[in-house]
């Protein structure tokens, strides 16, 4: 399938985004023998089906819109992905529109990360997930050209990969809630989504059956700093490791107040997106949660992790609901972080890649070049 037909398929897909498109929509072969010396970008919508409804502080949903990307150079294909949970403000339409506006054929080398990122930012200032999809595909492609996985290129030791947390959220249906809690059994850390008005109930239900350490993500759901501090003390007595985004991202002074008093580290998520935000975060938070869909991909995520470390901050690596493509890309960085929350591929029912694995609760990287993924057969 040529690029124009591929995009046409993509746009058709955008119109019928409610029904997922099979992986074969990419067309065969994904690996051509042509040596163009040019970067060829292809993409298509792919809606992620969540295995359980996500109950967050401010919304509930059962699917996440996504776009799958391929960049081909000299017969080698790199895979990338954009995932667009609604609060990020991107959509299948916006990502396809952005990717359509790119002309990567002007670059003669897929290694020109700085130039390509500068170009992508010049095309539009935001569209972070769209940029991440290109960045991930470029990392996969260049790693394959070098014959090495990115953790090795960065000099990271895969033995130092952290445990990943697995996320649960409250469910009004006790059977559903029990099922969600049972699914956490293989994990060494469990991330509890809060801010729904049932926060203590959820932790108590979990603690009745498990003593696994938890971390808490309030998703900006606590709007009173005194109450937030009470919760931090209450959680500290219940084997909680840290609290993510307790209050509104605009409530910087209240968050700094909380950080001064909290027995638990306070981590920024919604507050920060990209590299320039890291220094601002240091004023009110103990650490940052880096996600590729916010940071525009691995190139800037790596810089963010290095900067946060140099500022004495904790570093957490998170993800959206994603296939194993974007999750495995993030996992390449995981040996340099304190905490990983890389369960996005486990939360969907229609993954289309084989990649990183969770073994005994720990992020485990495959010894494959690039980001370490292979497409699953359709």
| Residues found near Mg ion in the complex (CB under 5 A) | 217, 244, 269
- The pairing of beta strand 40-45 with beta strand 66-73: antiparallel
Closest CB to Mg ion among residues 40, 223: 223
Q: d(Cα 354, Cα 324) in Å, to the nearest integer?
A: 6
Beta sheet of 287-291, edge-to-edge order: 165-168, 189-193, 214-217, 240-244, 266-268, 287-291, 314-318, 339-340
Q: What 3-state DSSP class applies to 52?
A: strand
Q: Which residues pair with 290 in a beta bridge?
A: 317
Closest CB to Mg ion among residues 67, 192: 192
Q: Note whether 71 and 40 are within 8 A (CB).
A: yes
Closest CB to Mg ion among residues 244, 254: 244
Q: Note whether 229 and 255 are within 8 A (CB).
A: no
Q: Which two tokens stand for residue 151?
A: 């953790």
- The pairing of beta strand 353-354 with beta strand 374-375: antiparallel
Q: Give the shortest CB-78-to-Mg ion separation in angstroms.
A: 28
Q: Give the shortest CB-245-to-Mg ion separation in angstroms.
A: 5
Give 244: exposed, middle or buried? Use CB within 10 Å, 0-12, 13-18, 19+.
buried
Closest CB to Mg ion among residues 171, 217: 217
Provide the strand spans (E) within the chain: 40-45, 48-55, 60-64, 66-73, 76-83, 165-168, 189-193, 214-217, 240-244, 266-268, 287-291, 314-318, 339-340, 353-354, 357-359, 362-364, 374-375
Closest among 77, 156, 150, 135 to 369, alpha carbons compared: 150
Closest CB to Mg ion among residues 191, 368: 191
Q: d(Cα 299, Cα 93) in Å, to the nearest integer?
A: 25
Q: Give the shortest CB-333-to-Mg ion separation in angstroms.
A: 17
Closest CB to Mg ion among residues 90, 244: 244
Q: d(Cα 351, Cα 46) in Å, to the nearest integer?
A: 10
Q: d(Cα 48, Cα 346) in Å, to the nearest integer?
A: 11
Question: By beta-carbon distance, which residue lies closest to Mg ion?
Answer: 269
Query: From the centroid of its chain, how far is CA 2?
Result: 30
Closest CB to Mg ion among residues 72, 244: 244
Secondary structure letter of residue 377 according to DSSP: P
As a whole number of Å, the CA-based R_g of the chain is: 20
Q: Give the shortest CB-337-to-Mg ion separation in angstroms.
A: 15
Q: Give the shortest CB-184-to-Mg ion separation in angstroms.
A: 17
Q: Give the shortest CB-22-to-Mg ion separation in angstroms.
A: 31
Closest CB to Mg ion among residues 70, 244: 244
Q: What 3-state DSSP class applies to 143?
A: helix
Q: Give the shortest CB-137-to-Mg ion separation in angstroms.
A: 25
């Amino acid at each position: 399938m040529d690029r124009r037909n591929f995009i046409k398929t993509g746009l058709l897909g955008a119109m019928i985004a409610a029904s997922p498109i099979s992986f074969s929509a990419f067309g065969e072969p994904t690996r051509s023998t042509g040596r163009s010396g040019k970067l060829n970008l292809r993409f298509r919508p792919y809606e992620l089906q969540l295995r359980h409804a996500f109950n967050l502080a401010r919304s509930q949903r059962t699917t996440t819109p996504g776009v799958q990307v391929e960049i081909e150079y000299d017969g080698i294909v790199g895979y990338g992905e954009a995932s667009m949970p609604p609060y990020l403000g991107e959509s299948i339409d916006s990502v396809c529109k952005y990717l359509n506006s790119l002309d990567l054929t002007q670059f003669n080398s897929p290694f020109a990360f700085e130039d390509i990122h500068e170009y992508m930012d010049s095309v539009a200032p935001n569209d972070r997930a769209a940029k991440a999809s290109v960045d991930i595909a470029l990392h996969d492609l260049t790693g394959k050209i070098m014959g090495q996985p990115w953790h090795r290129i960065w000099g990271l030791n895969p033995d130092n990969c952290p445990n990943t947390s697995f996320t649960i959220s409250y469910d009004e249906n006790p059977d559903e809630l029990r099922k969600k809690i049972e699914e956490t059994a293989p994990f060494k850390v469990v991330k509890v989504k809060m801010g729904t008005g049932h926060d203590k109930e959820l932790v108590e239900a979990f603690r009745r059956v498990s003593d696994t350490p938890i971390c808490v993500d309030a998703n900006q759901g606590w709007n009173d700093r005194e109450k937030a501090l009470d919760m931090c003390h209450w959680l500290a007595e219940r084997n909680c490791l840290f609290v993510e985004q307790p209050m509104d991202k605009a409530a910087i002074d209240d968050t700094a107040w909380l950080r001064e008093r909290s027995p638990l580290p306070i981590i920024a998520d919604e507050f920060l997106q990209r590299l320039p935000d890291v220094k601002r975060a240091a004023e009110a938070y103990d650490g940052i949660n880096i996600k590729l869909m916010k940071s525009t991909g691995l190139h800037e995520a790596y810089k963010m992790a290095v900067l946060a470390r140099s500022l004495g901050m904790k570093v957490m690596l998170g993800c959206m609901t994603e296939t194993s493509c974007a999750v495995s890309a993030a996992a390449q960085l995981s040996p340099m972080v304190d905490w990983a929350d890389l369960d996005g591929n486990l939360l969907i029912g229609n993954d289309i890649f084989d990649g990183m694995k969770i073994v005994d609760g720990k992020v485990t990287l495959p010894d494959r070049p690039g980001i370490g993924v292979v497409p699953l057969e359709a």
